[in-house]
Amino acid sequence: MASSVAMNSVGAQAGLVSKPRNRNFTSCNGLKATSSISFESRSSFLGHNASLRSSAIPRIVPKAKAGSYISPEASYKVAVLGAAGGIGQPLSLLIKMSPLVSALHLYDIANVKGVAADLSHCNTPSKVLDFTGPSELADCLKGVDVVVIPAGVPRKPGMTRDDLFNINAGIVKTLVEAVADNCPEAFIHIISNPVNSTVPIAAEVLKQKGVYNPKKLFGVTTLDVVRANTFVAQKKNLKLVDVDVPVVGGHAGITILPLLSKTRPSVTFTNEETEELTKRIQNAGTEVVEAKAGAGSATLSMAYAAARFVESSLRALAGDPDVYECTFVQSELTELPFFASRVKLGKNGVESIISADLEGVTEYEAKALEALKPELKASIEKGIEFVHKQQASATSA
């Protein structure tokens, strides 16, 4: 495992827009500690940048019940497994800036001490601890509320997500086994690709350990939403803070399906625009890999998107009733066992899966939805089969 990890070093009801109430509690706004925080526009690691902050909060959500609020004592422990890697380092920095984090545990097989030392100098409240190698993994995970797993090898030019499978599958299996043993109640965020397979791998491992809770296992597909929002805003000259595009399906190639007809604010696309935007969103990862010309993959945008999902999870844990994100989870929305869609997050994980996004889609989207299913089904089955084969090998050994 060690050598493998080192390669990367390691919606809601239509038309309802909520206006979050001001909630005052001690926080860290941007890089400067402040006495209060408002979820209106200025909280969390996104600081004063209103456009970034707004992009982190889906705006098409039901109104919250009056009187609901986040506890001022809200404070959580987050572990990043693969914290010294290309995604792990910027992701850890962004999580360090969250006012909802009290402790940040950084794990990798090498080079994590320097990352932790560096981050510990940031004047934000969370305490940073480093853990190196398998012998320290259990200590890293004890008492943790959210586990984020970006560990694995990155994509390189010419590689598909399936090319990553054999290496990353083993890494995710090993790490999730440790999660099951040490913090089985934690939210688990899977970033390691191919997500369409690694999430089912995680689910099977947790089932074998007897601690599987489908409401707390998430494939992080937030980057697809971030890209969709960005590209649509650019194409249509829209104010980015107002744009929200649900993205369903999976997290690779044609399994990524942006539902452009469900874009908020409502906007019209020509057939050509729909096809162009859909293909760009689906191939955006390759766009970055090729632009970096062998020097890496989409690490920074992935870190941003993953940090957004972490922040959403923390807000849900803290009692915010208006938290919606698209994510790859166990689902009955289609005949597939796992499917990415918008979900409502709460203290116990997924509270509900928003089915409305798949109602009244265009003919193009309906055909694309059917077209993605065979590939997504195969990827899911590949992940499940991997764990079963590993189990069979261990039994016969």
Compute the average pLDDT of residues 315-325: 97
Cα–Cα separations (whole angstroms), residue 355 to 11, 76, 370: 8, 30, 16
The whole model's pTM is what? 0.84
Q: What is the three-class DSSP state of 79?
A: strand
Q: What's the burial of 30, exposed, middle or buried (CB within 10 Å: 0-12/13-18/19+)?
A: middle
Tokens 């809770």 map to which residue? 213
State the catalytic residues: 251
CATH number of the 223-376 domain: 3.90.110.10
- pLDDT tens, 349-375? 999 999 999 999 999 999 999 999 999
- pLDDT tens, 71-104? 656 699 999 999 999 999 999 999 999 999 999 9
Which two structure tokens, joined as six digits, stand for 33? 């500690």
The pLDDT mean for the chain works out to: 85
CATH number of the 76-221 domain: 3.40.50.720
Q: What's the burial of 95, exposed, middle or buried (CB within 10 Å: 0-12/13-18/19+)?
A: buried
Q: How many CB atoms lie within 10 A of CB 185?
A: 11
Residue 301: band (very low, low, confident or very high) from pLDDT cuts 50, 70, 90? very high
* Statement: residue 21 has pLDDT above 50: no
* Statement: residue 70 has pLDDT above 90: no
Compute the average pLDDT of residues 38-44: 39
Please, which residues bridge with residue 166 across strands? none
* Domain ranges within the chain, ordered by starting residue: 76-221, 223-376
Residue 3: band (very low, low, confident or very high) from pLDDT cuts 50, 70, 90? very low
Compute the average pLDDT of residues 205-225: 98
CA dist 315 and 325 (Å) reads: 12
